Amino acid sequence: MTSDPQPTPAEQDPAKPADSADPAAQTERAAQADPAKSADLAKSADRVKSADRAKSAAPAGRGDSAAPADRAKSGDPADRADSGDPADRAKSGDPAYKDRVYRSHAAIAGGVLLLAIGAWLGVDALVRGEGRTPWVALAGLLFAVPLVVAYTVRPAVYANDDRLRIRNPFRTIALPWGAVSGLRSGYSNEVFTQDGAKFQLWAIPVSLRGRKKAARRHAQQVASDDPVASRLRPGAPGATQPHARDAGDQAMDDLREIAERREGAESAQGEPVVRWAYEVLAPCAAGAVLLAVLLGMG
């Protein structure tokens, strides 16, 4: 026995169409059935469509607005550098913080003053001089200006977690902390390497007058608390007050602290690198040769 096929809803009632899953069709049917609800149903359909569009665009947006830490994991070196993670900076070879810079402000001020005087005299000789005077003035400036810059403005000491970089008048020395055996303060400040080499720190001068002032200030501080302790030399174990230090000696103490803390670090190992400052030596030599030729010609 076979059963007759059931008629579809459209065949049962031609005036009543089959239900559709399309929100627009449902809205149209509801509007025909009840015009009062047509506006609300239209708004609901618009909200559904807006939500669907937002979901379809969400993955691209999340990919573009990923956090720096997530981008750092992707393997891009630039993203790792921007992530701010100390471990990533250590792997990339960058120091953990910016270099500490030590310079002599008095030397810089004196150098600027000498350059100003030299420029005034040299320009005057070039403009008003007669005969060979302008050429002699030019050769003198070419010889003297690099020397003044080298001994006053150029010297600097840069220190970070990985290395000590010394910029002296005619050389630049890069010393990883693992290659530094010690720092000494006497009549000049010096650094020694493991192989016995010695380099002077031109940017951190020694001031005997500053040391005496610091010792006198320390004695006054100690005497205000303990008259007996005032007879102790500054920095002695029996002193009850912190040892007052001159600016140069304090800078050397900072460098010793970094050297002791970082001498065994893996990123602070290596060999000393010395580079001559040809940008200073070349013009100075050219000026000396030109000046000697002009003076030799009588």
Q: What is the pLDDT of residues 246-260, one digit of tens each?
A: 778 889 999 999 999
Residue 112 shares a structural domain with residue 184: no
Q: Are residues 214 and 267 in the same domain?
A: no
Q: Which residue has the tokens 């999340």?
A: 62
| 282 in the same domain as 269 | no
pLDDT attached to residue 295:
87
Residue 284 placed within a domain: yes
Provide the pLDDT for residue 206.
Answer: 84
User: How far is residue 124's CA from residue 133's CA, in Å, rounded to a whole number?
Assistant: 10
Whole-number pLDDT of residue 141: 94
Kindly state whether residue 150 falls inside one of the protein's structural domains. yes
Same domain, yes or no: 143 and 224: no
Specify whether 269 is located in the same domain as 125: no
The sheet carrying 273-276 orders its strands as 100-102, 156-159, 163-167, 171-176, 273-276
Tell me whether residue 287 is in a domain: yes
**Both 104 and 150 in a single domain?**
yes
Nearest Cα neighbor of 266 from 97, 91, 98, 80 is: 91
DSSP string covering 94-120, please? --SSPPEEE--HHHHHHHHHHHHHHHH
213 shares its domain with 287 = no
Low-confidence ranges of the chain (pLDDT < 50): 1-3, 8-21, 58-93, 95, 228-230, 232, 234-241
Tell me: do 295 and 219 sit in the same domain: no
Domain with 266, as residue range(s), is 162-205+247-276
Can you tell me the distance from the alpha carbon of 233 to that of 220, in angstroms, rounded to the nearest whole number?
Answer: 12
- The span from the CA of 264 to the CA of 69, in Å, is 29
Residue 121 belongs to some domain of the structure: yes
Question: What is the pLDDT at residue 99?
Answer: 86
Residue 113: its pLDDT value, please?
Answer: 97
- Long-range interactions of 218-223: CB distance < 8 A, separation 24+: 218/243, 218/244
User: What is the number of domains present in the chain?
Assistant: 3
CB 218 within 8 A of CB 230: no
Name the pTM for this structure: 0.60
